[in-house]
Structures are given as structure tokens and as C-alpha cells.
Structure 1
Amino acid sequence: MTWQDLVQQPMPAPGVRLAYGPDSLQFGELRVPEGKGPFPVVVLIHGGCWLSQYNYRYMNYASAALAKAGFATWNIEFRRVGNPGGGYPGTFLDVAQAVDHVRVLARQYPVKAKEVVLMGHSAGGHLALWAAGRSELPRSSALYTKKPLKVKGVVALAGIPDLTTYSTQKGSCNAAVEKLLGGLPTAMPHRYAEATPSPALALKTPVRMVQGGKDPIVPVSQAQNFVNHSSSRNNKAKVVLLPEAGHFDLVAPTSPVWPTIEQAVKELLVKRK
């Protein structure tokens, strides 16, 4: 499935649009399933090379499908490269604030702040992994936030955990890393260190690195190297390789691989008796 195939599908009915900050781009759409609740939450973080040209709307397909499957969904928008305040550190701080806002949502809607999974696609997969592991950041970091929301797991769909390697490779999205962090790794090593998902994340939090074998934008090695980083028995990260899938199949509920995506969420959120 291509980008054009995805966005030409009928757009689902919108969720409830709610602000998590004062900027016009600091908002999300909340969808709550039918029924009594309270419901576990999937926070969706869109991709698009961290650039302002791409917004949250294409994740509405996945958001609506997951809500139909019984999960509350919080599909977030945030400032990106090209927006005032976007890039480093604004993009990261927005995502952190939006994730932590689930606590506020739980006071007003039938959703569970202690039953949360982060699902990000492409550049959003990087941000989901980063947000889940940001408790490792020192107080001196420009990306530091107090008391990050603890999540049950991360589903990274064609995620990009290794920004240093990705920034030096050729591809349609790779050059955007330099724009996001204000330079290449040699010029901004501290920013790359802070913006790279914590290697310790998978020792504490279950991670599913879902990757299409025919993805022209994100190589399979990104998922494999992240999972293989730790040989510890406590490593809770797994690669879910979909050999025939491309980049956008992973966020299309009409694609043959969508049941695998839903299953990854269920593994992390649905309690077994």
C-alpha cells in the first residue's frame, strides 16, 4: 500500500478534539469505544519525517479501528520541523506533554491512565520509543520532564530508534534527522544521545518492533539492531517481521497485516486470566 492508497480511503468520523497545551498544534483526538469502560488507551504518534508537511490525520484510520476493537485512542498532534517551536526540543517536549496528558483525560473520560500503550509510525515510532524511555534522562537535559507516564508497552511500526545511523544513510526521510536535531551526529552528539530511545527501555517495558520486509523508507536493520542491542534475559523487545508489507501497510486497517498490528496491542494491554 502506498501513501496515496492510504489517504484516498474515506476518513473516519473525527474523535473529540482536546488541547493538551496552549499552542494551536498541541492537541489530540480522543476516541472512546462504546460501552461502560474504563478502557485501556493507545496513544498514536504519527510519522512524516518529523516534518510539518505531514500531520496526524492519516493515523485516524488506525485510531478508529483500534477504538472499534475496544481501546480508547489518543491520536496526538505536535509541533514539527517547520513549525514555530518545532524540532529540538519542542517536538520532544510536546510528545511528552501529550503522553502525560492521559492522566488528565482519565479524570474526565472513561479511560485508564495506568493501562497505556504508545503506538508510533516511522518517525512517530522513534518518538514513541523515546517517550516510553525518557525517565532515564538527566534533570540537566533540555528534554527532561518530571514524572513521565509509565506505559505498559510500545508498538513501533517501522520505527527509527537509531537516529545516528539513519541520519547518515540515503533515503526519503533520512536528511530530516539533521533538521530535527540541528546538525549531524558529529556536530550535535549530546542531542543525539538525548533524542535516542533509551537502550534500557526494553529491559523494563515490552516493545514490539513491527517492520515490513518491503519497506523502502525504514530498513529492517533498525528494528533488528534495537532488539539485539541487549542480550540480557530481561530483554522484552521483539521484532515482528512482516515480509510482504511496505511502509504504509502497517497503519492501514484494510491491509492484510492489520490483524497482526491489533494483536501486538492486545498482547501488551489485554490481561489474561
Structure 2
Amino acid sequence: MHSSRHQYGPSEHQVVSFLHPREGEAIQGTAVLVHGGYWREAFTADLMLPLATDLMMRGWAVANVEYRRVGQAPTPSAMVSDVTTAVQSALEWSAESGRPGKVIGVGHSVGAQLGMLSVGLLDAFVALAPVTDLPRTHRENLGEGAVKGFIGDHTEDLPTLLERYSPLHQLPFKKPLLLVHGSDDQRVPVDHSVEYCTKAGSLGDEVDFWHLPHLDHLQAINPEGAHWPPVIEWMQARLG
């Protein structure tokens, strides 16, 4: 395994960790990982290391994204911009490394929310237990009021602001998307993904939705879960 780090901004939190298999090994494609944690600084890109390691062992190059979170980013748009810039860095790394294959995003929880807002740069996206609807997340007070922390003091036009950062309200994206969400999720109700897929499909987006009976929020990023090998197969099918 080879690894390196690229700082895409002045903050220590604006960094992408790159991992790829040993020299000479075939590369399937590049996966860009974006972690969740309801935008809170206690949760870092380390959350995605098990998935990163698994993908790398399967022949994927991996870009594991860190971004400024609440208390580090001055505005919600700065968090979104961080992930967009990190994705661009991953695309440049992939091209410079001589890997012409496709680049697929994998986001968990609000990492899916942030990643989906940058999906136009990617070839496809896997959303694991995603936050897709900020107005609803705010109304339901999910994550112990996490949306209030994300928005901060920028509440002069709250409804418009919440919709701006909601994948549900930015449809269609016109990129292949897989949503994986479990009925046992206590952090983001699966109904959010049901609503998202219904609207996305009605607007012509290519969306696959796996509503799993026994998958909680954190198990969604467990590479030993029964759901993960089929996710890999879905990603590989998008490479063609």
C-alpha cells in the first residue's frame, strides 16, 4: 500500500489522504470517501478508514476526504466548498497518477449530503444512510439539533438556506446514484431516502435504492456487513 496526503487549503483540516495498491497492481477505479458525524468536529475522516482499507485491498485507489466542520468552517458554504475542492484534488491526483478510470464518490450520513452536492464532478455516487433533506432534518431535530450547528448564525433566510444545501432540493443530478439505508437507522430515518428516491426517479435520475431491514447508521460503513460486497459490485458495474 502507498499513501500520501494533500493539503488543499490553509487549515489542517483541509486535507485528502490518498491510498493506492502496490505498484504494478491493476487499479479498478478511484473512490472518494466523505465521512459523516453531523458536521461536528469530534468526527473525522478516520471513520472511513475501514472502508478505505477494504477498497484498497480490492484494487481501488482511495481518496479519503477531511473537511472543516462546525467550529472550524466559518459558514456552511465553506464546508460544501471544502468537499468540492477535495473532490477536485482527488480527480487531479487520479489523472496525474495515470489512472484514467472512473471516479466514484462514497459518502456516509452528512458526508453523503456534502458529496452529493459535488456529484457533478464524479462519475457516480454511493450514499450510505444519507442526510438528503435539511429542512426535514431541522424540523425533526435530528442529530440533537445538528442543523442549527451547521447553519450557525446564518439564519436571515433559513428556508432558502436549508434547501440550498439539501440534495433533495437540488435534484436532478444526472449521475448514477446508489442509496443504501436501513430500517434500524436511529440517526437518519429511512423515510428520508424513500422520499429522495421517489422524487429523483420522477425527475429522471438513475437511482438504485436498497432499503435493508437490519442496518443501523454506523453499520452502513462496516465493510464486514452483508451489504458491502454488493455495494462494491455496484461500483464496479459503473466502471464499464
TM-score norm. by structure 1 comes to 0.79
**1:96 matched to 2:68:** no
Structure with bigger helix share is 2
User: In structure 2, what is the Cα distance between the partners aligned to 1:71 and 1:26?
Assistant: 23
In structure 2, the partner of 1:119 is 106
In structure 1, the partner of 2:220 is 250
**1:216 matched to 2:208:** no
TM-superposed deviation, 1:229? 0.6
User: In structure 2, what is the Cα distance between the partners aligned to 1:131 and 1:232?
Assistant: 21
User: In structure 1, what is the Cα distance between the partners aligned to 2:102 and 2:111?
Assistant: 20
- 5+ long unaligned stretches in structure 2: none
Amino acid at match of 1:123: V
Please state whether the residue corresponding to 1:15 is helix, strand or coil. Answer: strand
**1:163 matched to 2:143:** no
Q: 1:224 to 1:32 in 2, by over 3 A?
A: same
**1:72 matched to 2:61:** yes
TM-superposed deviation, 1:187? 4.2
Q: 1:231 to 1:132 in 2, by over 3 A?
A: closer
**1:57 matched to 2:65:** no
TM-superposed deviation, 1:246? 1.0
> Which of 30, 49, 58 pairs up with 2:18?
30
The total of aligned residue pairs comes to 237
Asked if the contact 2:30–2:94 (Cα under 8 Å) also holds between the matched residues in 1, the reply is no
Asked if the contact 2:40–2:69 (Cα under 8 Å) also holds between the matched residues in 1, the reply is yes
In structure 2, the partner of 1:268 is 238
Q: 1:58 to 1:97 in 2, by over 3 A?
A: same
Cα RMSD (Å): 2.2
Amino acid at match of 2:123: K
Q: Percent identity?
A: 26
User: In structure 2, what is the Cα distance between the partners aligned to 1:29 and 1:65?
Assistant: 15
Map Cα deviations across residues 195-216 of structure 1 (whole Å, 9 max, x no partner): 1222111xx1111110012111
Please state whether the residue corresponding to 2:226 is helix, strand or coil. Answer: coil
TM-superposed deviation, 1:87? 4.1
Amino acid at match of 1:167: H
Asked if the contact 1:38–1:110 (Cα under 8 Å) also holds between the matched residues in 2, the reply is no
User: In structure 2, what is the Cα distance between the partners aligned to 1:185 and 1:211?
Assistant: 30
Q: 1:21 to 1:250 in 2, by over 3 A?
A: same
TM-score norm. by structure 2 comes to 0.89
Alignment of 1:189-228 (within 5 A): 189-197=159-167, 198-201=170-173, 204-228=174-198
Q: 1:105 to 1:14 in 2, by over 3 A?
A: closer
Amino acid at match of 1:95: V
TM-superposed deviation, 1:234? 3.1
Asked if the contact 2:5–2:16 (Cα under 8 Å) also holds between the matched residues in 1, the reply is yes
TM-superposed deviation, 1:261? 2.6
User: In structure 2, what is the Cα distance between the partners aligned to 1:265 and 1:249?
Assistant: 19
User: In structure 2, what is the Cα distance between the partners aligned to 1:168 and 1:193?
Assistant: 13
Q: 1:230 to 1:124 in 2, by over 3 A?
A: closer
**1:129 matched to 2:101:** no
Please state whether the residue corresponding to 2:29 is helix, strand or coil. Answer: strand
